[in-house]
Structure 1
Amino acid sequence: MDFSRILSMDLNSSNSTLSLPSILMDALVPGYGNISQLIYRLCGIDVGYVVSGCLVLFGLFHGGQFLYNQSFDYIASYFTSSIYIEDNDNLYSQVMKWVAEQRMTKVSRDLKAVSKWVNNYQDDEDELDDDDFDVLDEKGIFNFEKWAGNIPPRYEPNYGSDRFYHDGRYFQFSREKKENKWSSDDDESLVIRCFGRSTQPIKDLLNHVKRWTLNKENKMTSVYRAPAESHGGRMWNRQSCRPSRPMHTVSLEQQQKAKIVRDINEYLHPVTARWYASRGIPYRRGYLFHGPPGTGKTSLSFALAGIFGLPVYCISLNEVGLTESDLGTLFSQLPRRCIVLLEDIDSAGLRRDDMPTGMEGTDPISPASETADGSEDGLTKISKTDVLISLSGLLNIIDGAASHEGRVLIMTTNCPENLDPALIRPGRVDLQVLFTLATREQIRDIFTRMYSTEFDAGEVRSRASSTKPTPNSSKTTNRQNDDLLALVRAESRLDTIEPEKLVEMAQQFADQLPEARFSPAEIQGYLLMRKQDPTKALAEVGKWRDEILESKRSGKKVVNVFN
């Protein structure tokens, strides 16, 4: 660089035609002097001042930006509160759905369009007009692309920060992405921030979002499974969100459905948890649905989930690579209230060490004895190479010392007699439900349900021809629902007994049961089914005693007592 002109320049000389910035630029940028002299002679403008002004503005802009970021970080650190939400949490999708319908998404100039969230059950048909259901081509054939093209995408805030107001309070919404080295999909997280040193406004906002989601999805049932991840671990993933199945569509005797609904309803009530704890009873409830294939065992599970608003967590013990450690981890990750569905439990190949190799899935020859504390002796890992779960490991996960409480466990099987007695003993299975092949009444109900048009209001408009609904179809279904609810409420009362009378009834109850024939779990399970009606428990204990003793003499493993 040539600085000789700078040293020889007389800044006070009136003959100088170039400013100091031009001299500096000439020294730093080769050829700048000739260009600046030409512009100066033609236009009379010293380019050096223009460049100097741009440099000053550039410095002021970045300096102000630096001061703003530093001030914001300081305020965010000491004068705001924030809550983080990871994308593997249900709350993440709930917040994203809520944000997608807020004004901030409608006025923002930086959005992300999402279409993959539309699944087979959530097509957002409420946003479609009647004209949008013209999905047939000129030949009268349904065209999926034409139909799917009518469904608009959902617009979400893009990655970065955005701001919104809710109930008069200012919030900042940040969506961040971070690389996940264990998966091809990147992890995402949300950060909701507000001014103040308390997170209570954000908590109130999240509670509002959860209530909003409940009103939006109160007719949907979330189904979770745990597929093997690429890195070998397993975690719960929501596989689908399907419409809740109405209870009247399940082909099962009305009294049985009412008994199951009433039992789960009492169990899930918050007061019941304290009732169990005060009496030293583990707060768990297990059900065995058994019967031929196609009789509605899984359907009833989803119908129960719809009634009580519970998610369904499905596990198959036959999954390749599923270990006891994986199963224990999955059970530990269950939410406080849910339905755990163990399907086809008889085909999992669980066996005891006294069962000959190759006899997995068959009726065990001689069950091992149970110890006084309820644990089983002689349980060992199965010999099937593709199933890595032992019977003892499964039992410990279901009702061991560290097992999950508060959930509803449903096991289904086609061959109940192939199950080990330890798996379905009272305390692990509290209620056994038999599903039979279709009775005449069930056949009639299936026929009526199949051809009823009461639920076709949203479907007929998309068909080439429609059928008018029969005027009495809705009344029929409402009557079925009312009958079921009447049966559920029939025994929802508490029979209070005076202490002196209770002592007398307890002695009468004990006199009707032989000694050393029933386990405490069996007696406790019988009383739990009638925990609000001690008079009924005393009146029916004789019948229950005879049926249980008869089943033990005949070697039956399942007993269906629906009284």
Structure 2
Amino acid sequence: MDFSRLLSMDFDSSNSTLSLPSLLMDALIPGYGNISQLIYRFFGIDVGYVVSGCLVVFGLFQAAQFLYSRSYDYISSYFTSSIYIEDDDALYGQVMKWVAEQRMTKVSRDLKAVSKWVSNYQDDEDELDDDDFNVLDEKGIFNFEKWAGNIPPRYEPNYGSDRFYHEGRYFQFSREKKENQWSSDDDESLVIRCFGRSTQPIKDLLNHVKRWTLSKENKMTSVYRAPAEAHGGRMWNRQSCRPSRPMHTVSLEQQQKAKIVKDINEYLHPVTARWYASRGIPYRRGYLFHGPPGTGKTSLSFALAGIFGLPVYCISLNEVGLTESDLGTLFSQLPRRCIVLLEDIDSAGLRRDDLPTGEEETGLTSPASEPADGSEEGLTKISKTDVFPKDPTKKKATPATKSLISLSGLLNIIDGAASHEGRVLIMTTNCPENLDTALIRPGRVDLQVLFTLATREQIRDIFTRMYSTEFDDKHVNSAVTKPSTKSSTKSSKKTSKPDDDFLELLLADSTADSVDQEKLVEMAEQFADQLPESKFSPAEIQGYLLMRKRDPKKALAEIGKWRDEMLESKRSGKKVVNVLN
């Protein structure tokens, strides 16, 4: 290599660039001057000018960025309006679901994928083809994982800002995350912004989102519960969104159902609230559903919620750690119109602070046992040992767990001075005689509804409803079909003899036995004739039919055997009955 030109270079000549950027770069980068001299000698390029140009461009870029940031902040502060939505609000989920179906999530290059919660009866059925419902393999086995794999994820805007147009107006959508010092999960919030000094366009947009959500969930009932949080508090969370139960599926006399619906319908009307206020009556309504287990008390509650479009807020007084303060806070957070469901109120173990300890444990002394004149002559105190003598051969029974909520505390929450108004309170119980009279007095319980064991009319209706195809959609009847002959033949060639026998058992009951409506009515009458009234609960009869839900003829033929076994088990106290034979 020829270094003669390099050795002949004069680094002290006046041709070297000594501009201000060059002096600064030489001070910052050792040897920069020699390098710039080499580039100038060989290529004739003055690096100082290049560095000067880069510095000018960088300075202009920083200045423009600074001006844009300050201008944006100024315009956002004085010429735009915004509304914040926290993630613990129901509106947050509604807005996110609406945004996920807008054009902005289809053209954006920065998205967040979310696995959809897919139930067996709602959500995304429109996105599935008819072939996606043919989910049985050649042996007739359903694979849920394979079926759920056909559901695509939902794509939401990622954290940051996005822009979209709605009805010709420009909006900015921002999704932010902030740390929560009380929980391991970070909180999220949405900010919707628009130009102008009025928030009315954003309010119109949110009203549109709520109407859109109602059109999507108009046949669904939201169920809320209040589990204990990590920090010890409680708040309402939507646990499920189930199909609204039709009223005709509830096993109750038509007159009783009509009376309840008419009463709640009149109570919920806006004019009724003014009527109550003008007469000084607290605007509350309470119902007590009582009767044996499995007679439809909870089912009627959900059917009523579906009719009136109300959410259901379920509270269990037996829940561990639930205090009166927590219960009062939950009642104060209830929406203006809702159904509050207190199930099995008799088993809550409510404390009566005014009773002695022995009476509180046995529950044998109550205000109902006092004489009318208020004297104590008619009050006989009975201890536990008087009724149940101690057996030395038995171990001491473990005392039952008591609720942290007293009876007086519950009564104050239900209809106290600061209690919530406008809601529908439904209490269910299997043993109404165990309830304190103060809990079910008029004003707290306005209507008591008795649920009895199945009558002949109810038995007939349950059979008809189970096998009727009147309300089935196009996918129900074809959801469980018999595998094709070709696939079954191929499978039988590949499998062993035990598998062939097992496959034959699967295919034996794989086809549904359809019956026309006239024949179904006749079979329902025969079915009702073979069951005695007021002996079986609707849940027991429905459970029997579910085991034969695709074969009404088999259900009719075997009802006599099932009836005799169930009656015998009830007489002998046997709790386990083999209904598969």
Q: TM-score range by the shorter chain?
A: 0.7 to 0.9
Q: Is the 8 A contact 2:349 2:402 kept in 1?
A: no
Deviations 1:130-186 (A, max 9, x none): 122232334332122211110011111111111111111111111111111111211
Change (3 A) 1:358 1:320: farther
Which aligned pairs between 1:253-268 and structure 2 lie closer than 5 A? 253-268=253-268
1: CA distance between counterparts of 2:224 and 2:45? 72
Q: After superposition, give the CA deviation of every residue in 1:174-224 in whole Å (9 maximum; x if it has no partner).
A: 111111111121111111111111111111111111111111100111111
Aligned twin of 2:300: 300
Matches within 5 A, 1:97-112: 97-112=97-112
Q: Which residue pairs with 1:354 in the alignment? A: 355
- Give the drift of 1:79: 1.1
Letter in 2 for 1:84: Y
Note the alpha carbon deviations across 1:367-416, whole angstroms, 9 max, x for none. 499xxxxxxxxxxxxx9764111100000000001000000000000000
In the other structure, the counterpart of 1:416 is 432
Cross-structure match for 1:431:
447
SS of aligned partner of 1:70: helix
User: Structure 1 residues 64, 458: CA separation in 2 closer, same or farther (over 3 Å shift)?
Assistant: same
**Residue 25 of structure 1 corresponds to which residue in structure 2?**
25
Distance (whole Å) between structure 2 residues aligned to residue 297 and residue 308 of structure 1: 17
Indicate which of 420, 444, 449 corresponds to 2:465.
449
1:33 deviates by 3.0
1:231 corresponds to which residue? 231
3-state SS of 2:62 partner = helix
Measure how far apart 1:24 and its partner are: 2.4
CA contact (8 A) 2:39 2:47 kept: yes
Distance 1:260 1:15, change over 3 A: same
**Are residue 459 (structure 1) and residue 476 (structure 2) matched?**
yes
Indicate the larger mover: 356-365 or 438-447: 356-365
1:354 maps to a residue whose letter is L
- Deviation readout 1:431-475 (Å, 9 max, x if unpaired): 0011111111111111111112232522234323475976759x9
One-letter amino acid matched to 1:389:
I
What residue in structure 1 maps to residue 394 of structure 2? Answer: none
Structure 2 unaligned segments of length 5 or more: list them: 1-10, 371-398, 483-510, 522-581
Q: Look up the match of 1:126.
A: 126
**1:268–1:229 CA distance, 2 compared to 1 (3 A):** same
- What aligned pairs does 1:338-417 form with structure 2 within 5 A after superposition? 338-352=338-352, 353-354=354-355, 357=358, 359-360=360-361, 362=363, 364-367=365-368, 386-417=402-433
Letter in 2 for 1:328: G
Residues 346, 361 of structure 1: 8 Å contact kept: no
Indicate how the Cα distance of structure 1 residues 468 and 55 shifts in structure 2: closer, same or farther if over 3 A, else same: farther
CA 461–26 in structure 1, closer or farther in 2 if over 3 Å, else same: farther
Distance 1:22 1:140, change over 3 A: farther
CA distance in 2, matches of 1:19, 1:467: 94
- Name the structure 2 match of 1:440: 456
2:182 is the alignment partner of 1:182: yes
Does structure 2 retain, via aligned residues, the 8 Å contact 1:221–1:309? Answer: yes
Letter in 1 for 2:410: L
**Does structure 2 retain, via aligned residues, the 8 Å contact 1:350–1:361?**
no
Distance 1:288 1:456 in 2: 35
| Equivalence for 2:68 | 68
Once residues 441 and 341 of structure 2 are traced to their aligned partners in structure 1, the CA distance between those partners, rounded to angstroms, is 18
The offset of 1:256, in angstroms, is 0.6
Q: Which shifted more, 352-361 or 260-269? A: 352-361
Give the alignment's TM-score, normalised by structure 2. 0.73
CA–CA separation in structure 2 for the residues paired with 1:85 and 1:259: 41
Q: Partners in 2 of 1:55 and 1:148 — Cα distance? A: 57
Question: Over residues 7-57 of structure 1, what are the superposed CA-to-partner deviations in whole Å (9 max), with x where a residue is unaligned?
Answer: xx99xx962356442332122112333433333333322333333323322
Say how many residue pairs are matched: 452
CA–CA distance in 2 between the matches of 1:447 and 1:262? 27
Alignment of 1:269-308 (within 5 A): 269-308=269-308
Distance 1:68 1:190 in 2: 23
Residue 308 of structure 1: how far off its partner (Å): 0.6
Deviates more, 1:109-118 or 1:13-22: 13-22
Judge which range, 224-233 or 107-116, deviates more.
107-116
After superposition, give the CA deviation of every residue in 1:255-284 in whole Å (9 maximum; x if it has no partner): 111111111111111111111111111100
Task: Supply the RMSD in Å over aligned alpha carbons.
Answer: 2.5
Aligned 8 A contact 2:350 2:402 in 1:
no
Structure 1 gaps of 5+ residues are 1-8, 370-382, 477-563
Asked whether the equivalents of residues 350 and 360 of structure 1 are also in contact (C-alpha less than 8 Å), the reply is no
Query: Following TM superposition, by how much is the alpha carbon of 1:232 offset from its aligned partner in structure 2, in angstroms?
Result: 0.9
Match of 2:367, SS? coil
Give, in whole Å, the separation in 1 of the partners of 2:14 and 2:35. 22
Partner of 1:240: 240
Instruction: Indicate if the aligned counterparts of 2:100 and 2:157 stay in contact, CA closer than 8 A.
Output: yes
TM-score by length of 1: 0.76
Q: For 2:124 and 2:339, how far apart are their aligned partners in 1?
A: 27
Cα distance in structure 2, aligned partners of 1:361 and 1:439: 35
Q: Distance in 1 between matches of 2:356 and 2:290?
A: 23
Partners of 2:422 and 2:362 lie apart in 1 by: 30
Between 436-445 and 50-59, the greater mean CA deviation after superposition: 50-59
Q: Within 5 A, what are the aligned runs for 1:411-560?
A: 411-454=427-470, 455-465=472-482, 472=517
**Is the 2:252–2:458 contact (alpha carbons within 8 Å) kept by the matching residues of 1?**
yes
Cα pair 1:285 1:409 within 8 Å, conserved: yes
Deviation digits for residues 340-381 of structure 1 (CA, Å, limit 9, x no counterpart): 000110011124333653755846432499xxxxxxxxxxxx
Q: Kindly indicate whether the alpha-carbon contact (under 8 Å) linking 2:133 and 2:475 is maintained by their aligned counterparts in 1.
A: no
Q: Quote the residue 1:319 is aligned against.
A: 319
**Structure 1 residues 437 and 214 mapped into 2: Cα distance closer, same or farther (>3 Å)?**
same
Counterparts in 2 of 1:287 and 1:368: CA distance versus 1, 3 Å: same
Deviations 1:483-519 (A, max 9, x none): xxxxxxxxxxxxxxxxxxxxxxxxxxxxxxxxxxxxx
Separation in structure 1 between the aligned mates of residue 269 and residue 253 of structure 2, nearest angstrom: 25
**Distance across 2 between alignment mates of 1:59 and 1:444:** 86
SS of equivalent to 1:357: helix
What code does the residue aligned with 1:409 have? L
